C-alpha cells in the first residue's frame, strides 16, 4: 500500500512539474494557447461558405493531442531523452492540425516547435527542424488541389523568411538564457567563495590574536614574572633576617617595594598597549601622538613629530604604524636605557615612513634574537607591501624604521 501511495505521489509531482515548467517561455505559452483557440474557433465559423473537410470531433482530437504534446515539451537542453521525444510528436500533431483545418492557423504553432528545437537541441537542431518544415510545406502545397509548382515555390520562399527569423530569435533567446544561467552560476560560486574567504579571514584573525596573546604572555612572563620572582625571594630573605639582622631585612623590604613599583608600571604599560584604538577616541596620527604621550610617565623624554601633509591611510596601514610605534617605544624604554626617544612619521607621495630613534646603548644582541615582537611586526609590514628595518644607529642608540605604501598594492 505504501509503495502504491509513493508511486502516486511521485507521479503527481511529475505532472505538476511538467505543468509548472519554469523554463517554458511565457510569451510562447500565451501565443500557443491563442493559436490553439483560434484553430478551434475557425472550425466553428462558416467562412466564405466553405465547409472544412473534417468534422469538429476530428479537429478536437488532433488539437487535444497537440495540447498534450505542448505540455510535455522540454525547454531545457538538459532534459532526458524521453522528454525530448515530445518535440517530434508536437511537430507531427501540428502538421496534422494544419492538414485537418485546411492550413487555417496551425502553421504558426510549427514556428513555436521550431523555437523549442533551437532552445533544446541548439541551432543545428533548429536548422534540421526548419528544413523538415519547409519540405513538408513544399510537398503539401504542391499536392494541394488547385496549386502548382510556382505556388509551392512562392509559399515555401515566404515561409523560409519567417522560419529564418524564428530561428534567429530563438537562437538569441537561447544565448540570453545561457548567459543568464552562467551569470547565476558564477554568482553562486562567488557567494560561496566569499563565504569561504570570510571563514578563512575569521580563522586568520583568530590565529593572529592567539599569536599576539602568546607573544604578550612570553613578554609578561619575562618582565612581570621576573619582578614578582625577585620580590618573592627578597621578602623571604627579609622574613629570614628579621630577627638576626633587621637592617638587612628592611633593605630587602625596600628593594621589594621598589620592584613592586616597577612591576606596577609594567602592568600599566601593558594595559595601555592592550587598550583598543576605539577606546582612545583617536585615529591616525592623533592616536599615535596620544600613544607617545602615554609613555611620559616612564621618566623617558618621548617626542613625536609628523612631516609632510597627512594623507588618509588604509586601516591595516594605520594599525601596523600604531603597533610599530608601540613596539619601538616599549623596546627603547625597557631595554636601551635611553633618556630620549624620538619618533617621526613622514608622509611622501607613495610611501609613509615611521622612524623611532633613541640615545641608549643599542642592541646587545642580534636583532633577530630580540624576541617575537619585531619579527611579527616585520611580517605584518610585508603582508601589506611594506618593509621593516631595525638596528643600532651610527652615533649610538637603536633605530626602528617602517615603510609602508600609502596605496595598497
Average pLDDT over residues 317-335: 82
Grid coordinates representing 346 are: 613622514
Query: What's the confidence (pLDDT) of residue 394?
Result: 66
Cα separation of 356 and 67, whole Å?
84
> Are 228 and 203 in contact, with CB atoms under 8 Å apart?
no
In a domain, 302, yes or no: yes
* Contact between residue 285 and residue 324 where contact means Cβ atoms under 8 Å apart: no
Only one residue has cell 523555437, namely: 115
Buried b (16+ CB within 10 A) or exposed e, 171-189: bebbeebeeeeeeeeeeee
Interval 25-39: pLDDT, tens: 777 788 778 877 777
Judge whether 245 lies within some domain: no
Domain membership flag for residue 268: no
Number of domains in the chain: 2
Mean pLDDT, the chain, integer: 77
Q: Is the dihedral of CA 11, 15, 20, 25 positive or negative?
A: positive
Of 147, 172, 191, the last residue of a domain is: 147
CATH number of residue 404's parent domain: 3.30.565.10
Tell me the residue range of the domain where 374 lies.
282-409
How confident is the model at residue 346, as a pLDDT? 92
> Does the pLDDT at position 186 exceed 70?
yes
* pLDDT value, residue 345: 92
- The reply to whether 261 falls in a domain is no
pLDDT band at 261 (very low <50, low <70, confident <90, very high): confident
Amino acid at each position: 500500500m505504501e509503495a502504491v501511495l509513493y508511486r502516486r505521489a511521485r507521479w503527481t509531482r511529475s505532472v505538476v512539474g511538467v505543468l509548472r515548467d519554469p523554463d517554458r517561455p511565457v510569451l510562447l505559452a500565451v501565443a500557443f494557447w491563442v493559436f490553439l483557440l483560434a484553430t478551434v474557433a475557425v472550425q466553428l465559423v462558416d467562412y466564405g461558405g466553405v465547409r472544412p473537410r473534417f468534422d469538429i470531433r476530428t479537429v478536437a482530437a488532433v488539437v487535444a493531442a497537440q495540447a498534450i504534446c505542448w505540455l510535455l515539451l522540454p525547454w531545457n537542453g538538459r532534459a532526458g531523452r524521453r522528454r525530448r521525444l515530445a518535440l517530434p510528436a508536437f511537430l507531427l500533431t501540428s502538421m496534422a492540425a494544419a492538414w485537418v483545418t485546411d492550413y487555417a492557423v496551425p502553421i504558426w504553432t510549427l514556428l513555436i516547435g521550431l523555437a523549442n528545437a533551437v532552445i533544446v537541441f541548439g541551432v543545428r537542431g533548429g536548422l534540421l527542424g526548419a528544413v523538415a518544415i519547409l519540405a513538408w510545406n513544399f510537398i503539401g502545397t504542391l499536392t494541394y488541389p488547385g496549386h502548382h509548382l510556382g505556388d509551392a515555390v512562392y509559399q515555401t520562399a515566404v515561409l523560409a523568411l519567417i522560419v529564418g527569423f524564428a530561428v534567429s530569435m530563438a537562437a538569441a533567446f537561447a544565448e540570453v538564457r545561457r548567459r543568464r544561467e552562467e551569470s547565476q552560476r558564477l554568482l553562486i560560486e562567488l557567494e560561496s567563495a566569499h563565504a569561504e574567504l570570510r571563514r578563512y579571514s575569521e580563522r586568520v584573525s583568530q590565529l593572529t590574536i592567539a599569536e599576539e596573546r602568546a607573544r604578550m604572555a612570553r613578554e609578561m612572563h619575562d618582565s612581570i614574572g621576573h619582578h614578582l620572582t625577585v620580590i618573592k625571594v627578597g621578602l623571604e630573605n627579609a622574613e629570614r633576617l628579621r630577627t638576626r639582622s633587621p637592617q638587612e631585612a628592611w633593605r630587602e623590604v625596600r628593594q621589594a617595594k621598589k620592584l613592586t613599583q616597577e612591576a606596577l608600571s609594567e602592568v600599566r604599560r601593558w594595559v595601555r598597549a592592550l587598550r583598543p584604538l576605539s577606546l582612545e577616541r583617536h585615529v591616525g596620527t592623533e592616536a599615535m601622538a596620544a600613544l607617545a604621550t602615554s609613555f611620559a610617565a616612564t621618566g623617558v623624554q618621548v617626542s613625536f613629530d609628523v612631516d609632510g601633509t597627512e594623507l588618509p591611510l588604509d586601516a591595516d596601514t594605520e594599525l601596523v604604524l600604531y603597533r610599530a610605534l608601540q613596539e619601538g617605544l616599549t623596546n627603547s624604554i625597557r631595554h636601551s636605557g635611553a633618556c630620549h626617544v624620538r619618533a617621526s612619521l613622514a608622509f611622501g607621495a607613495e610611501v609613509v615612513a615611521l622612524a623611532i630613534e633613541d640615545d641608549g646603548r643599542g642592541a646587545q644582541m642580534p636583532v633577530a634574537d630580540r624576541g617575537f615582537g619585531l619579527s611579527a611586526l616585520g611580517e605584518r609590514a610585508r603582508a601589506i607591501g611594506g618593509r621593516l628595518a631595525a638596528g643600532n644607529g651610527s652615533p649610538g642608540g637603536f633605530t626602528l624604521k617602517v615603510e609602508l605604501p600609502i596605496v595598497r598594492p
